Amino acid sequence: MNDFTLTVQPSSAASLAKTGPIWTPPKIDFAMTHPHTLIIEPGMADRHYWRDLWRYRELFFVLAWRDISVRYKQTIIGLAWALIQPLLTLVVLTVIFSKVAKLPTEGAAPYALLVFAGLLPWQLFATSLSGASGSLVGNANLISKVYFPRLIVPTAAVVVSFVDFLVSFVILLGLMLWYQFLPGWQILTLPLFVAMAFLASLGPGLWITALNVKYRDFRYVIPFIVQFGLYVSPVGFSSSVVPPEWRLLYSLNPVVGVIDGFRWAILGGESNLYIPGFLLSWAVIAFFLWLGIRQFRKMEKSFADLI
């Protein structure tokens, strides 16, 4: 398909005929291509949706790459923002929960490490949730002008927060060095919990971003959830301070399972995983993911008309 030729045609009527290079399109052999017939009908469930999603995977990477490269453009300190924010939050939370509230740590782990092992997944969750939620409205120009499986937009937005996560992870390594803390074999399971955090944010994120297209009220919901969730989730304290009889109920918050998992992976033997609660968190995450995808797919067809 590369038989393009680019020729500049010299012309005597220079000013009039200055039509630039004449582009010769390549010949398409229509017998060679396999034209699949596409049927467009109202309310037709798109049978090829997941196949289309796979076909558009490059767009997914391109959109994620775009968001990442745009994120810190025209800023002075650039990526350092991804360090400053969690570092300051870490100091404040450590001082308040450890020195002021005098809450216990888990095992022998330093309190700052405990806080950061909770802050890391929380920030991952919060930035992916807000990124996914605003993604459709933020890409309104794309949605109203080109077709692609819309699911790409919020999932690509979620990926962006992973970059910030990696930067923050450097702080964790610094803290471990500072406290001379050596993690156990459990640290190898961390990717599993990172995936868990993504899935936990993707479910509600999909639902809210779809709702946001129709009702812009939902854009005010996200900052509230993020602010509220920081205190409701065990970020600044260990979930073991929750009384045992309430622990299962507490695990209905899917972030509890994610944070517990992170602490177990990072602090190793110092932290105990509360298995019933952890499984319940997974169930809640799965439910929200199912709900989010279902609602998203249901509303997807009207996005272009409403946005």
Where do contacts with other proteins occur on this chain (CB under 8 A)? 1-2, 4, 6, 11, 13, 16-28, 30, 33, 35-43, 58-59, 62-63, 66, 69-70, 73-74, 139, 141-148, 214-215, 301-302, 304-306
H or E segment to which residue 198 belongs: helix 190-214
Q: Quote the CA–CA distance of 26 and 8 in Å, as a whole number.
A: 17
DSSP letter assigned to residue 96: I
Transcribe 41-97 into DSSP letters.
-TT---TTHHHHHHHTHHHHHHHHHHHHHHHTTT-SSGGGHHHHHHHHHHHHHHIII
156-168 b/e (C-beta count within 10 Å ≥ 16 → b)? bbbbbbbbbbebb
Tokens of 132: 């996914």
Q: How far apart are CA 67 and CA 134, in angstroms?
A: 13
